[in-house]
Amino acid sequence: MLFQIMLDGHQLNFTLTTLINIDNDKIFFFVQIMGGGSILLEKRNPRGKWFILKGALSDERLKQSICDKLDNTSFATLYQNVLPMDEFKFEF
């Protein structure tokens, strides 16, 4: 899925891939930022904090903007195309 966010008056695009770990039913979100950078996110409970498990972003505001966008996206949209984590190739 392609998403757009605004940061400091600039439009940034990122793709989101929703992944599931079949062994423990955990859901993860792989974010690939257009122009560079990727992170693997996990949210441990619905109202909880987002955690970066892999990758890094140079700007904490960028991470917060991405997390806010995901928080404001419907459950159905985020989970419409879930892939098994063990079949997904990560590129950081």
The model's pLDDT over 50-73, given as tens digits with 9 standing for 90+, comes to 999 999 888 899 999 999 999 999
Q: Which residues pair with 39 in a beta bridge?
A: 31, 55
What pLDDT sits at residue 51? 94
Q: Where are the domains of the chain?
A: 2-87
What pLDDT sits at residue 89? 83
| Count of residues making up the chain | 92
What pLDDT sits at residue 14? 97
Q: Could you give the 3-state DSSP secondary structure of residue 60?
A: helix
